[in-house]
Structure 1
Amino acid sequence: MTISNALSNALSGLSAQGRMTEVVSSNLANALTDGYARRELELSAQSIGGRGAGVKVLGVERRLDPGILTERRLADSELSNHTAMTEGLKRIEQVIGAAGTPGSLSDRVARLEEALTDAAADPASDSRLSMVQRRLGELAGTVNEAGADIQALRFDTDAQIASRVDDLNTALAQVERLNGDITRARSIGHDATGLMDQRQVVVDRIAQIVPVRSILREGDRVALMTPSGQMLLDGPAPEIGFTHVTAMVPEMTLASGGLSGLSINGEPITAPDGIGKLAGGSLSAAFAMRDETLVQVQADLDSFAANLVARFEQPSADATLTPGDPGLFTDDGNPLDPLDTVGLAQRLSVNALVDPVAGGALWRLRDGLGAGSQGPVGDASQLLASRGALVTLTPLTPGGSPSSLAGHAAAITSSIGARRVESEDEMAFASARQTSLRDAEAARGVDTDHELQMLMRIEQAYAANAKVVQTVDQLINLLMEL
């Protein structure tokens, strides 16, 4: 009986060492695999009838720190949010143009001022008047293009929201399916750690879209909840709803009902931002960009266009105009309506009276839009008045700081640049924090030096158990020879 027990103990040891070798080799093979958690073989002393019966393999366990994992996922969400915002602001800055760059808003204003100054120095020159008319068109065209590009960015952002919602729904369905697979594998005694690794990778993807905390449920299932308390998954995967628009105009906003917010299983999220307690990841950044940042930039462009139109409707800018007449710049050919400025950036146009192609005449730049006929070709007073309209200090919005048109253009571009720099700083901080947490997570992951040391210990233990088997075999042979 004693020899039999010794053989049983040694064989169980060999079996356990073989399993441990499998676990260590898996750790080494996946040392650089994302989502892989270090494995350890759980062992226990085995006894039968109160007597030692070798070693028992309880199973394979994943080793990770849930606290660090949760914090790292939240850091992923924050970094994803700031990265999306920074990229969006860079695209806006490209649309508006940085101050001083050719073709930017500030550059167009400066070139118009220069053209008016040159024309005033030689008002009889048709070529200089033609340059003024050209610069007027370039300024209006730049504002038009900027407004159209902002709406194109809003449309693209709306499409990004739809894409991220699709990705979120797909990932939630995958977590639901993996939850079921893990529970079934556990119930029949199979190793489910590989499925858990897959689930961790999927939840990591979700965390970049929406910040989540993982809650362990019975059967090794996980539930997902946002830091704000919105249960995102606890059993069947919910359906996150969103409706992508087919076109975008400035009048379309979330508040007006023209744009979609999110819904969960058909129930709309009623929060003003359309995302509510799901805020925090790249999805939240897309909503903020579509409904706040880009809307504000459009409003700034509309205010700039309204200020530009209003400057040239003043009697000081053109004494030949009668009240209600449009000036050099118009709202699609009409005078400014202070109550209808939404989308004005796209409707801004140059008065057709100074456009020879549209039946107008260049001399009206020198003599006034309302002049019945040409005046003295050497009179520069109207050209100087037009230039004066550009440099007159007026507020962009009621209660705002008065400035010249160039000052307002510079304020718009510098404001966007400042927001972009601020967002880059926030992104850098979030990136540093996320990197720190990833390093902390990796420190608790697979250590190849430790695994190699473990492999040497397994080799020694395996050799020792094999020696026991060999010794028992020799003892039995001695008995058989008696």
Structure 2
Amino acid sequence: MSLSTALSIAQSALLATSKQTSVVSRNVADASNPDYARRVAVVTSTAPGARSVEIQRAANDLLFRQNLSALSAWSGQSALYSGMDQLDLSVNGVDNASSASTAIGNLQQALQLYATTPSNQNLGASVIDAAKQVVSSLNDGTTAIQDFRSQTDGQIATAVDDLNSLLSQFQDANKAVIAGTRSGTDVSDALDQRDALLKKIAEYVPVSTFTRGDNDMVITTKDGTTLFETVPRSVTFTPSAGYTAGTPGNTIYIDNVPLSAGTGDNTSADGKLAGMLKLRDGVAVTMQSQLDEIARGLITAFAETAPSQPNAAGLFTWSGAPAIPAAGTLVDGLAGSISVNAAFDPSAGGSAALLRDGGANGAAYVSNTGGGASYSDLLIAYGNRLDQPMAFDTSAGITVSSGVSDYAANTIGWFEGVRQQASTNADAKEALATRTAEALSNDTGVNVDQEMSLLLDLEHTYQASARMMKTVDDMLDALLGAVG
């Protein structure tokens, strides 16, 4: 072997080792970056004594797809659960203090106390005050639910804007990958950026991907709707100006295809967009329907009755009074319009004694025909009706037959059950997302201990190559000295 050949080999080894050292140093520097994939410097011999270094990026497509799916599921479930917490606090208050069930319980107590001393009109006025609290609970609950739906609309609009921005950024990253692949340059950084954006996109909608020539990536949703192909597809949503009970919300469109909301407490909603749709048009709407059914039950329970006469609205009234809402049939928005009948309200010129005697709808409906101040039969009857089973619309989510008082309590139980299930499933899906992320990191991320060990080996290799160059240099000096 000639001295020039030996020198060339040593120089090639030094250059290869230098590139390997640079790659390892970069790995160590980005070890804490969750979006960074480990680089590997692969050394190959291209000719006797010559070496070339190719930088490869660690990847595991199967684990990455599993992580994307887990992220979408967790994001959708998390959006559902966190929204439920907000909705519960807005409607029922802390420890259900402002719930309809609590207000009805207070009304029952006031009614029982009045029935013990029917001649005491102060106790009668207390019943009216308790009835007003029931009405306030239903009215305010309706307002809170519809405000929540409007707020969710705003959050959906913001999320749609964010998703469109991410898709635009993804286009730039995808172009960089394609251009680098075509020119043969290292595209590892661009691939890191593209994968990081893909994980963020998956938090909004579930995604599937496939790669075409030149590393060009196409994104579709879980149901096959194209989200990105060369250019982003438009994601559109128009928030409603406001909501009333029974008003459906607007749909999110991806490339003019509607995005479906999730179903169930262990929601099938993948991505926060579907989770928020489930909140707005599922949980909140059901909660409103239950309040409407409570209102209908109260109007029915306190209706005035008379022989050969239709039942007429009594203590609680509504826009369709004096008629009573049809049994077992939901009336959208009834909880927002129910009110205390002015005929019973002393502050409105009425008399609480009508609750004891009857007759708010005319003489035919008078129950205390003798005019006795101690008459309590009607008051007792009203109390019994609150616990008497009646028909409720099953579309409101509760199928158990009960009185309106128990129905109101059951609505709290229903919501707590749904929320608890949503919480449990959110924890489970978060754990899956964490496990898949850890598995992906273990397979494609940086192990600092391994990298430092490799760096030590490279140091030894570099020292050996340097000694070889010095030896060749010494030999050349000796040769030149001999010739000279």
Query: Match of 1:30?
Result: 30
Q: Assess, with a 3 A threshold, how the Cα gap between structure 1 residues 100 and 222 changes in structure 2: closer, same or farther.
A: closer
Instruction: Give me the whole-angstrom Cα distance separating, in 2, the residues matched to 1:189 and 1:401.
Output: 68
Query: Match of 2:143?
Result: 148
- Within the candidate set 106, 110, 113, 2:101 is matched to 106
Decide whether the 8 Å contact of 2:171 with 2:231 is kept in 1: yes
Query: Match of 2:392?
Result: 396
- Displacement after TM superposition at 1:186 (Å): 3.6
Matches within 5 A, 1:248-263: 248-253=243-248, 259-263=249-253
Give the gaps of 5 or more residues in structure 2: none
Query: Match of 1:201?
Result: 196
Decide whether the 8 Å contact of 1:112 with 1:135 is kept in 2: yes
Query: Match of 2:158?
Result: 163
Query: Match of 2:302?
Result: 312
90-99 or 207-216, larger mean C-alpha shift: 90-99
Instruction: Give me the whole-angstrom Cα distance separating, in 2, the residues matched to 1:429 and 1:264.
Output: 29
Q: Assess, with a 3 A threshold, how the Cα gap between structure 1 residues 279 and 422 changes in structure 2: closer, same or farther.
A: closer
Question: Aligned with 1:323: secondary structure?
Answer: strand
Query: Match of 1:7?
Result: 7
- Displacement after TM superposition at 1:323 (Å): 2.7
Question: Aligned with 1:394: secondary structure?
Answer: coil
1:234 and 2:229 equivalent? Answer: yes
Query: Match of 1:71?
Result: 66
Q: Assess, with a 3 A threshold, how the Cα gap between structure 1 residues 108 and 271 changes in structure 2: closer, same or farther.
A: closer
Decide whether the 8 Å contact of 2:246 with 2:285 is kept in 1: no
1:436 and 2:426 equivalent? Answer: no
TM-score w.r.t. length of structure 1: 0.90
- Displacement after TM superposition at 1:470 (Å): 0.7
Matches within 5 A, 1:324-473: 325-332=312-319, 334-335=321-322, 336-338=324-326, 341-368=331-358, 369-370=360-361, 375-397=371-393, 400-444=399-443, 445-473=445-473
1:357-385 deviation per Cα after TM superposition (whole angstroms, max 9, x unaligned): 22212222222224669933222222222
Amino acid in structure 2 at the alignment position of 1:137: K
Matches within 5 A, 1:165-180: 165-180=160-175
Give the gaps of 5 or more residues in structure 1: 254-258
Decide whether the 8 Å contact of 1:75 with 1:434 is kept in 2: yes
- Displacement after TM superposition at 1:337 (Å): 3.8
- Displacement after TM superposition at 1:149 (Å): 1.1
1:412-438 deviation per Cα after TM superposition (whole angstroms, max 9, x unaligned): 110111111111121122122222212
Question: Aligned with 1:209: secondary structure?
Answer: coil
Question: Aligned with 2:247: secondary structure?
Answer: coil
Decide whether the 8 Å contact of 2:261 with 2:274 is kept in 1: no
Amino acid in structure 2 at the alignment position of 1:285: G
- Within the candidate set 254, 260, 269, 2:258 is matched to 269
Instruction: Give me the whole-angstrom Cα distance separating, in 2, the residues matched to 1:66 and 1:387.
Output: 66
Aligned CA-pair RMSD: 2.5
Decide whether the 8 Å contact of 2:225 with 2:254 is kept in 1: no
Identity %: 28
Q: Assess, with a 3 A threshold, how the Cα gap between structure 1 residues 397 and 120 changes in structure 2: closer, same or farther.
A: same
Amino acid in structure 2 at the alignment position of 1:380: S
1:100-131 deviation per Cα after TM superposition (whole angstroms, max 9, x unaligned): 74332221111111001101111121221111
- Displacement after TM superposition at 1:264 (Å): 3.2
- Displacement after TM superposition at 1:279 (Å): 5.4
Q: Assess, with a 3 A threshold, how the Cα gap between structure 1 residues 464 and 272 changes in structure 2: closer, same or farther.
A: closer
Instruction: Give me the whole-angstrom Cα distance separating, in 1, the residues matched to 2:299 and 2:342.
Output: 14
- Displacement after TM superposition at 1:458 (Å): 0.6
Amino acid in structure 1 at the alignment position of 2:380: L
Instruction: Give me the whole-angstrom Cα distance separating, in 2, the residues matched to 1:333 and 1:279.
Output: 39
- Displacement after TM superposition at 1:386 (Å): 2.0
- Displacement after TM superposition at 1:248 (Å): 1.1
1:283-308 deviation per Cα after TM superposition (whole angstroms, max 9, x unaligned): 11111121222212211211221121
TM-score w.r.t. length of structure 2: 0.90
Decide whether the 8 Å contact of 1:84 with 1:285 is kept in 2: yes
Decide whether the 8 Å contact of 2:262 with 2:275 is kept in 1: no
Q: Assess, with a 3 A threshold, how the Cα gap between structure 1 residues 153 and 72 changes in structure 2: closer, same or farther.
A: same
Question: Aligned with 2:42: secondary structure?
Answer: strand
Amino acid in structure 1 at the alignment position of 2:79: A
447-456 or 93-102, larger mean C-alpha shift: 93-102
Instruction: Give me the whole-angstrom Cα distance separating, in 1, the residues matched to 2:280 and 2:273.
Output: 11
User: How many matched pairs?
Assistant: 465
Decide whether the 8 Å contact of 1:100 with 1:107 is kept in 2: no
1:295 and 2:276 equivalent? Answer: no
Query: Match of 1:215?
Result: 210
- Displacement after TM superposition at 1:272 (Å): 8.7
- Displacement after TM superposition at 1:77 (Å): 0.7
Amino acid in structure 2 at the alignment position of 1:425: T
Instruction: Give me the whole-angstrom Cα distance separating, in 2, the residues matched to 1:398 and 1:431.
Output: 33
- Displacement after TM superposition at 1:243 (Å): 0.8
Decide whether the 8 Å contact of 1:99 with 1:410 is kept in 2: no
